[in-house]
Structure 1
């Protein structure tokens, strides 16, 4: 039987989810731009813009780990 997920594990997992999400948005912006035969400068600009957009989306969409499950270990065991 397993116990509750610790705050550290939850925070580490959410950090990785946020990083992967930002990279996914940035790389997809670059890939879409490269499909249109754009110059290298435009593709790099799209990647940077996509990374900035990804950061803004993560800030807006993803809650902090404490807001996901604010219960204490004692409340989990009831």
Structure 2
């Protein structure tokens, strides 16, 4: 039988990068959307900061529901 080609440490690093990328994608999206209203630089920074918070909450929500879904399959 063939096992996984990556180690547990590599999986951990990859998962962490995916989570950080997800949060930064949401934060970047909010900052880009704020550009539609002709903001000042501090307002863009504030939109990015709020986006980080929203991204963290969305990430928690997705991971929480994914865990429940996996448990329901067992």
TM-score by length of 1: 0.68
Q: Distance in 2 between the 1:62 and 1:11 partners?
A: 15
CA distance in 2, matches of 1:59, 1:6: 25
The Cα of 1:57 is off from its aligned counterpart by 1.4
C-alpha distance in 1, partners of 2:43/2:51? 12
Bigger share in helix: 2
Pairing of 1:1-78 with structure 2 (within 5 A): 3-4=3-4, 5-62=6-63
The runs of 5 or more residues in structure 2 that have no matched partner are 68-74
Distance (Å, rounded) in 2 between the aligned partners of 1:6 and 1:60: 27
The SS at the match of 2:39 is coil
Aligned length: 65
Instruction: Please say which structure displays the higher CA radius of gyration.
Output: 1
Deviation at 1:15, TM superposition (A): 0.4
Q: CA RMSD in A?
A: 2.3
* 2:72 matched residue in structure 1: none
Following superposition, which runs of at least 4 residues in structure 1 exceed 2 angstroms of deviation? none
